[in-house]
Amino acid sequence: MYRHSMHRLCAAAAGLAAACGIAVPGVAGAVPAAQVPVRPWAQPARPLAVSGTALPGAAPGAQLWVARYSGAGNGDDEGLSVAVSPGGARVFVTGMSWGGASGYDLVTVAYSAASGARLWARRYNGPGNGNEYGGSVAVSPDGTRVFMTGPSPGAGSGQDYATVAYSAATGAQLWVQRYNGPANRDDYGGSVAVSPDSTRVYVTGSSQGATSGQDYATVAYNAATGARLWVKRYNGPANRADAAGSVAVSPGGTRVYVTGGSQGATSGQDYATVAYNAATGAQLWVKRYNGPANGYDYPSSVAVSPGGTRVYVTGTSQGSGSHNDYATVAYSAATGARLWVQRYNGPANGGDYASSVAVSPGGTRVYVTGTSQGSGSGQDYATVAYSAATGARLWVRRYNDPGNRDDEAFALAVSPRGTQVFVTGFGWDGTATGYDCITVAYRP
């Protein structure tokens, strides 16, 4: 499963841009992102089971419930992104699920936030009838719509961005829009966000340029109709591979922030975070982060503070003597000035891959989740809480599935009141279902 982690990070996991296609230094046999992972260990699936209940008086970080989704295609199902409804009553998870004749499909599942009970599930298979293998989900602030994006094979256009709007209440499909870049080649939608007034949807990912290799490509849509409003592309200083993995909108709705991995002129792969004018797509600033090893640094997620004054980026960064670590960076939203950097190295001093960041509603805490090598437990979920002001670490919680096999966390969300933190990914409980989507709730 280590190759699984590297594939997901190169592909901007967690839901995230799946197109960098870069071999990671120090990792033998890194899987090119354009390849769909082969899962020879897939086992027959079983119906969804929900286990766990809220724990009265539980300590901070206590697990509240776990919900599993096992599709009908007798294969693996992976949660890659999670979002919470504005009222806090529902949790939405999207990812990939084996569909048999349709290959891997994009799947979106709605759960009760209180109990983990499944409310509805919807699948999307594009016109190419191939493998859809990523995904990101966002809920409109008015709570009426759910938006999902991910890479999807087109009919003669390679992989395209596929963005789907659903009714949050019923799961009914409202519209579908696809984006095919200027080279008519592979384009990987990796992240979606909605404006505070629920009128616009922003999607980012990586897209093959005509002469510039892979670029960031960010698209703005009308949330009601799916009509395209603008497209902006970012090509880094090396004119090589640039893959955006996450997008966020400022609370006032005036700015859009995109982060991803971008080839530096002399520094290998760096974090590159771009601020845009939300109305026009005009670029406002670009900031880059190169870790202590001057090696491979790939961000997977960006979030904005509730006050709109800070931007937080997390991802994976090669350490000096510590393999790959979580690296979380705080920036001034106005100027892009760096405020603090914090790194997390797990107990095994092995590979640690951050996939998602979120901020508490009060703006006082920053939560990061991802996949971290455990001591004798393989890969585990590892979720870290930081002080938003200083970056001081507050707590760390790890989740190892009962099967004691590899568990990979891809996305994190905080409930509107800040009373629950939800983490989703996949793991194996040791039974015949193979790897299932696992969602864990914590008390912050």
Query: Residue 2 pLDDT > 70, yes or no?
Result: no
pLDDT of 272 above 50: yes
Percentage of the chain modeled with pLDDT above 90: 56
Higher pLDDT pick, 242 / 20: 242
For residues 301-322, give the mean pLDDT.
Answer: 95
Please report, for residues 310, 312, 327, 367, 434, the alpha-carbon distance to residue 338 in angstroms, rounded to integers and kept in the order given: 10, 10, 13, 18, 43
Domain ranges for the chain = 2-35+44-442
Task: Say if CB 268 and CB 296 are below 8 A apart.
Answer: yes
In this prediction, residues 237-264 reach a mean pLDDT of 93
Q: What is the distance in angstroms between the CA of the first residue and the CA of the last residue of the chain?
A: 29
Q: Say whether pLDDT at 3 is over 70.
A: no
Mean pLDDT, residues 404-431: 86
Query: Are 373 and 386 in contact, with CB atoms under 8 Å apart?
Result: no
pLDDT for the residue 318: 94
Relative to beta strand 173-179, strand 436-442 is: unpaired
Q: What is the pLDDT of residues 320-364, one digit of tens each?
A: 988 999 999 999 999 999 999 999 999 999 999 999 999 999 999
Look at residue 74 in the predicted model and tell me its pLDDT: 66
The average pLDDT across 30-53 equals 26
CATH topology of domain 2-35+44-442: Methylamine Dehydrogenase; Chain H (2.130.10)
In order of 19, 56, 202, 215, 276, the CA distances from 279 in angstroms are: 27, 46, 11, 21, 9
**How far, rounded to the nearest angstrom, does the alpha carbon of residue 197 sit from its chain's CA centroid?**
23
Side-chain-side CA neighbours of 384 within 13 Å: the count stands at 28
Q: 267 falls in which pLDDT band (50, 70, 90)?
A: confident
pLDDT of residue 221: 97
Whether 290 contacts 270, CB under 8 Å: yes
Select, from the ranges 4-13, 21-30, 258-267, 400-409, the one with the highest average predicted confidence (pLDDT). Answer: 258-267
Indicate whether 72 pLDDT > 60: yes
Question: Mean pLDDT, the chain, as a whole number?
Answer: 83
Q: 189-218 burial, b if ≥16 CB within 10 A, otherwise e?
A: bbbbbbbbebebbbbbbbbbbeebbbbbbb
Is pLDDT at 147 greater than 70 in this prediction? yes
> What is the structure's pLDDT at 11?
34
